[in-house]
Amino acid sequence: MSKGCDLVVNGRSVHVDADEATPLLAVLRDELNLRGTRFGCGTEQCGTCMVLIDGVPDFACTRTVESAAGKSVTTIEGLACNGALHPLQQAFLDEQAGQCGYCLSGILISAAALLERNKRPSRAEIVEALDKHLCRCGMHNRVIRAVQRASAAMAGAAA
Amino acid sequence: MISNSLPQSLIDNPLLSQWIAFDEPGRVRVGSGRVEIGQGIVTALAQIAAEELDVTFGQVNLVSGQTDFSPNEGFTSGSYSIAIGGASIRLVCAEVRSLFLERAAEKLGCKANELSIEDGRFFRAGKDTGMDYWAIAGDVALDRRASGTAPTKLPSSYRVVGKNIPRVDLPAKVAGAAFIHDIVAENVLHARVLRQPWRGARLVALDESAVRKAAKAPIEILREGNFVAFMADAEINVMRAAEAARSVARWEGGEPLPDNAGTPDWLKAQVARDRTVETGLKGRTEGKVFSARYSRPFLTYGSIGTACALAQFQDGALKVWSHTQGPAVVREWLARALSLKASQVSVFHRQGAGAYGHNTADDAAFDASFIALRHPGRTVRVQWSREDEFSGAPLSTAMAIELRAVLDHDNKPADWTIEIWSPPHAQRPGYNGNSNFAGAEALPNAPPLNEVGDVPDERGGGATRNAYAIYDLPRHRLIHHMLPKVPLRTSSLRGLGAWANVFAIESFMDELAERAGEDPVTYRLSLLSDPRPRRVVETVAQMSGWFESKTLGEGRAHGFGFARYKNIAAFAAVVVEIEVDEEICLKRVWCAADAGLVITPDGARNQIEGGIIMGASFAMKEQIRFKDGRIAAAGWDDYPILRFSEVPEIDIRLIDAPNEAALGLGETSVGPTCAAIGNAVARALGKRIRDMPLTRERIMTTLLAE
């Protein structure tokens, strides 16, 4: 039996050698050198490790790499397209939606999933989608405005 | 008026060359001991430098917190970074600009006042002279003391200061790797350290075979006294080892905490060093006496990222990468704790998650350094677990506060006493002559701890920060019971004692106003003769429609809070609108602030809003509890903080005062927010809760106590 497992990360097929019980987060950061996905608590309580697994936000700190085998994983590094920032990343810069920035990777991932399924979310819908993310610096309102801005920009681009 | 007297940082680092160099073509290197902790300081300081030098913002390379290159400015704390650090850069850059103009004038055979500078290039009568800072840098000696006398720009001529320059650190943070945790090091050795569960705890048993088995790969175990570290080439294995060790380690001795630690009764039973400070009229006043008791619990700073540090020891030199708030101080105390010379140690600041006070960054720097000395040539990387962040970090201390007023015939305070029981609010490395590194305390033959003191009043105070009410009080008495024997590293969290004191004082003001039958804002204004704070109070009242909306309906109310941080920094007045059912729902917040000259208005708003949200979280939710001698919190479920669904819409107005000195504003909105929430709850419930946090449990107890 061959060791490790295969998965698709940011559109690229990869084989990883880690034992199957290794958290996906450790594989992303240490084996694949994708360090934008963060360790915050290790217990699904803060959201800094959020990634998309087949398009659905999930906690990379508790998911084992085995559970992601054969699936498509998107990290913060996979949001930008051909070197151009994702509209959400641009909107976060435009709104200066950050203080320390440690929570931003995870928030951007959840926000990207939200805009994928709901092009024009209300404030309440944004809050609901992001409520599993903790931010200690207190830039929640800027984040909400940035998501609204990105939503408008993406609607404008699609029109 | 903006003063040009020498700020402390410039007294401590007097040479111009300690601050500035032109060693890269087209770029000016400006040093600062202030570090980025999420507050945007690197951007704001570069704006000040660009302004005074007449270079573009992009031409400034701000080198922050690198002990080999940056001035020693102690810790980035106390809202001093703009007021002291920025003021220093302003004077240095103005003086350097003058020196270069004089030198250029000599070379060009003209007068300095015929020359002007644009983007670092020198112009005479509107024509480019072909000369710039870099061309003549070799001819201007900067190894000279700053005089502080060179003319600085007039605020009315500012081009860069006062503009919303985007944060320089943000692009990396929305794209991926940006933090100390993300540094890719060669020859790295990952390590985790087992932490003592309480101060002085002795490790009596550790089943190392169970730990090795849990690691699932070969690990090294380092044991010296009560310091235990696990090391391996892959981080996952030491994470597993440390987690297993935490559950199998058995500890005895030391000073475990009782379950009621932090309650007012417990605080008042501690050994105290007492002092009384009386100001204003002498003697005593007769009249009606009113008093009330307030409290706050122990809190943790709760950074979203855990502490991380890297260290490498090679050829007698120790290099340390750390998100410390005080690189130069940590350098000195690492050297002392590790028996090295300070000249052998370099500390390089790298960004971590937000720091709101004395967190575990310094402890991680010690852990990594201690292990690195035993593994020369390896780059040792230590990261803390979330459990250790809760149980092993310094704590922001609980406080009990009593206020007493003797009222005159107009129901105004003729005699005012504030009495505070609190352990100290600052035990950073070096304070009281202790290294205060958690790891150092665990070593065999750890030096005995010197008795601790609190931050002196002249440096803003710790427990006494904002203990002096800003109002016109003819007679004021401060009684401070400093509790030096509490066996915890009680240390600095945003605002130190300020927000609890502001909560107490501003709650008390509302209670006095109620007794007087007056509106709380009107009552305060009757005790505020200084026009500057009056304007702040009046502005927020107008913004929130305070006087137009006295009753909002069942269970809903406005509340007001006001303070000037440390009584010398920025002013902030806050109005909140809440709805109370079983829990408090924060609906809206309005804040007016006067911070004098504002360097980056958007950054200032970001800081003030962050302070409001943190203050609301402190006041409504946060509390560290103790069980079985130790801190009873392992994760965020045990220590909830304000979430997206609880954050209100916030309206902030910065009062325009560009000709006044820049005032520290990063901590100013916390206390007024706590107070405004307390006052709103009292108005909504008709009963006051004087102990923070104002939880559902406390609301129910208060309502049932009818």
Look at residue B3 and tell me whether its pLDDT is greater than 60: no
Of A21, A45, A131, the CB nearest to B644: A131
Nearest-Cα residue of chain B relative to residue A87: B174
CATH of domain A5-78: 3.10.20.30
Of A76, A96, A138, the CB nearest to B170: A96
Q: Is B356 on the interface with A (CB under 8 A)?
A: yes
Give per-residue pLDDT as tens, B518-537: 999 999 999 999 999 999 99
Flag if A45 and B636 touch (Cβ within 8 Å): yes
Q: What is the pLDDT of residue A2?
A: 54
Q: Which burial class, exposed, middle or buried, applies to B403 when counting CB atoms under 10 A from its CB (0-12, 13-18, 19+)? A: buried
**Listed range (B94-103, B334-343, B552-561, B637-646) with the worst mean pLDDT:** B552-561
Q: What is the pLDDT of residue B80?
A: 87
Q: CA B279, B281, B283, B284 torsion: positive or negative?
A: negative
Of B178, B607, B647, the CB nearest to A140: B647
Q: Is B235 on the interface with A (CB under 8 A)?
A: yes
On whether the CB atoms of residues B215 and B244 are closer than 8 A, the answer is yes
Cβ-based neighbours of B95, under 8 Å, separated by 6 or more = B16, B146, B147, B148, B149, B150
Q: Which helix (H) or strand (E) holds B7?
A: none
On whether the CB atoms of residues B65 and B41 are closer than 8 A, the answer is no
**Listed range (A108-117, A119-128, B235-244, B552-561) with the worst mean pLDDT:** B552-561
Which structure tokens are listed for B80? 């001093």
CATH of domain A87-158: 1.10.150.120
Q: What is the pLDDT of residue B342?
A: 96
Q: What is the pLDDT of residue B1?
A: 41
Look at residue B379 and tell me whether its pLDDT is greater than 70: yes
Q: What is the pLDDT of residue B510?
A: 98
Q: Which domains does chain B have, with CATH numbers?
A: 8-168 (3.30.365.10), 181-253+302-392 (3.30.365.10), 399-425+461-704 (3.30.365.10)
| Reported ipTM exceeds the 0.95 cut | yes
Q: Is A101 on the interface with B (CB under 8 A)?
A: yes
Q: What is the pLDDT of residue A1?
A: 45
Among the listed residues A4, A55, A11, the one whose alpha carbon sits nearest the alpha carbon of residue A31: A4
Q: Which helix (H) or strand (E) holds B540?
A: helix B531-544
Look at residue B5 and tell me whether its pLDDT is greater than 80: no
Q: Which residues of B touch A33 (CB under 8 A)?
A: 184
Give per-residue pLDDT as tens, B19-51: 999 999 999 999 999 999 988 999 999 999 999
On whether the CB atoms of residues B48 and B120 are closer than 8 A, the answer is no
B123 DSSP 8-state letter: E
Percentage of residues in chain B having pLDDT higher than 90: 95
Of A36, A99, A144, the CB nearest to B354: A99
Indicate the residue type of B557.
Answer: A
pLDDT average, residue stretch A118-125: 98
Give per-residue pLDDT as tens, B629-651: 999 999 999 999 999 999 999 99
- Cross-strand pairs, A64: A23
Nearest-Cα residue of chain B relative to residue A36: B176
- Alpha helix segments (H runs only) across B13-86: 41-53
On whether the CB atoms of residues B162 and B597 are closer than 8 A, the answer is yes
Q: Is B297 on the interface with A (CB under 8 A)?
A: no
pLDDT average, residue stretch B677-688: 96
Q: Which residues of B touch A107 (CB under 8 A)?
A: none
Look at residue A48 and tell me whether its pLDDT is greater than 70: yes
Other residues' Cβ atoms within 10 Å of the Cβ of residue B371: 24
Give per-residue pLDDT as tens, B464-523: 999 999 999 999 999 999 999 999 999 999 999 999 999 999 999 999 999 999 999 999
Among the listed residues A110, A120, A17, A9, the one whose alpha carbon sits nearest the alpha carbon of residue A56: A110
Q: What is the pLDDT of residue B284?
A: 73
Cβ-based neighbours of B409, under 8 Å, separated by 6 or more = B287
Nearest-Cα residue of chain A relative to residue B233: A30
- Residue with the two structure tokens 């992303």: A28
What residue spans in chain A does CATH classification 1.10.150.120 cover? 87-158
Q: Strand runs (DSSP E) across B548-664, as ranges?
A: 556-564, 571-580, 584-594, 626-627, 630-631, 649-654
In this structure, are strands A72-74 and A5-9 parallel, antiparallel, or unpaired?
Answer: parallel
Q: CA A52, A55, A57, A60 torsion: positive or negative?
A: negative
Q: Characterize A35-56 residue by residue with b for buried, 16 or more Cβ atoms within 10 angstroms of its Cβ, and e for exposed.
A: bbbbbbbbebbbbbbbbbbeee
Q: How far is A25 from chain B (nearest CA, A)?
A: 10
Q: Characterize B199-217 residue by residue with b for buried, 16 or more Cβ atoms within 10 angstroms of its Cβ, and e for exposed.
A: bbbebeebebeebbebbbe
Cβ-based neighbours of B368, under 8 Å, separated by 6 or more = B191, B309, B310, B311, B320, B380, B381, B382
CA R_g for chain A: 16
Of B38, B302, B385, the CB nearest to A99: B38
At B188 the three-state DSSP class reads strand
Q: How far is A159 from chain B (nearest CA, A)?
A: 26
Flag if A26 and B636 touch (Cβ within 8 Å): no
